[in-house]
Amino acid sequence: METSLGAPHFAPESTYLNTASMGLLPRKAAAVLRDGIANAVAGRPTPELGFPSVDGARAAFARLVGVDPGRVATSGAVAVHVGLIAGSLPDGAEVLVADGDFSSLVNPFAVRPGLKLRSVPLDALADAVRPGTALVAVSAVQSADGRVADLAAIREAARAHGARTLVDATQAAGWFPLNAGDFDYTVTGSYKWLLCPRGVSFLTVPEDGGGLRPVFSGWTAGEDPWESCYGPVRRLARSARRFDESHALLAYLAAPHALAVIEETGTEAIRAHNLALAARCRAGLAELGYEPLPGPGSAIVAVPGLGGRAEEALTAADVHVAVRAGNLRAAFHLYNTAADVDRLLDVLSGLPAAPA
């Protein structure tokens, strides 16, 4: 029987091709989470609950994206830290984004009064940076269709015009090689390709903090949190921890064990595995007469117009994908196999022909 790259960390009982919505929880992370809940019920909190697990997750993520842990802040959701960046920009600042990018990256700038939000097609983003652009914000991999941004070109264009860069790595970190130090800021929701429970999200900042104001900071952002519980925090953390949001403790309890699976397997090995499955899927779709969007270098396969027509049949067959922006979207990760691809194609082959 064919085994996945991620065996023995996972135990899927379905054909699960929806990591771009939510990743599967590794066995060890699930066991730790169950124990944490049981201990909370029994009134004996797990010793690692709180700062030990949060700092373990912070360090593991830092290793995965190639920066010092002192440059990593934590929160519960991407939009929190994007909002922090939006709130730190001066009035009149221009923010450049890609058309149709994920709302958690775009909307905090749209609702912040006094900013100028400009949107252009993804493949025109680098050329659209101009004098006066303050920030270029883009997802490394697009949620709706899996397109991969030309991050090198965007970074160089931003530098040439004195603009800062913000990269959303939510659909990238865990399979896509990314050095967070190449950009001013990155944000990463970790419940997808990084396999954490929902409620774990990371922000990376420059060593000088990138001009951000810690407006969300509570007691956990203090240099000594246990001396920062009451009244104004007298000493904020010297590191990026000053931008921490209070933590979803059970999610962070499991997070180091989830991230360990990515570290142990290796991003490059995961990337090669995922891209091979995506290529197999695209080839099979073409043989069936479908036209997936071009996705060079992407672990996400999207087929325009097929989502609504195929969703019911796939769900009935226990094949789990997503429908995004009208696309059928399949996402391949380390727990998937060629048999999963073939199962998807087999179900699609039985669909009635599309109306002319």
What's the confidence (pLDDT) of residue 354?
66
Is the Cβ–Cβ distance between 38 and 128 less than 8 Å?
A: no
The answer to which of 13-22, 121-130, 327-336, 347-356 has the lowest mean pLDDT is 347-356
3 pLDDT tier (thresholds 50, 70, 90): confident
Is the Cβ–Cβ distance between 173 and 193 less than 8 Å?
A: yes
Over residues 184-191, mean pLDDT: 98
Over residues 151-173, mean pLDDT: 98
Question: Cα–Cα distance between 172 and 140 in angstroms, integer?
Answer: 6
What's the confidence (pLDDT) of residue 307?
84
Taken in order of first residue, the domains within the chain and their CATH numbers are 15-24+266-349 (3.90.1150.10), 28-264 (3.40.640.10)
The answer to which of 167-176, 197-206, 260-269, 302-311 has the lowest mean pLDDT is 302-311
What's the confidence (pLDDT) of residue 1?
61
Percent of the chain whose predicted confidence (pLDDT) is above 70: 99
What's the confidence (pLDDT) of residue 356?
52
Over residues 321-343, mean pLDDT: 97
Over residues 162-188, mean pLDDT: 98
Is the Cβ–Cβ distance between 171 and 300 less than 8 Å?
A: yes
Is the Cβ–Cβ distance between 282 and 275 less than 8 Å?
A: no
What's the confidence (pLDDT) of residue 2?
79
> H-helix or E-strand containing 189?
strand 185-189
Residue 279 pLDDT > 90, yes or no? Answer: yes
Closest CA to 17 of 330, 349, 347: 330
What's the confidence (pLDDT) of residue 268?
97
Closest CA to 90 of 119, 115, 117, 108: 115
pLDDT tens per residue, range 293-303: 998 999 999 99
Mean of the per-residue pLDDT values of the chain: 96
Residue 290 pLDDT > 70, yes or no? Answer: yes
pLDDT tens per residue, range 51-64: 999 999 999 999 99
Question: Cα–Cα distance between 18 and 330 in angstroms, integer?
Answer: 6
Question: Cα–Cα distance between 356 and 354 in angstroms, integer?
Answer: 6
Over residues 327-353, mean pLDDT: 96
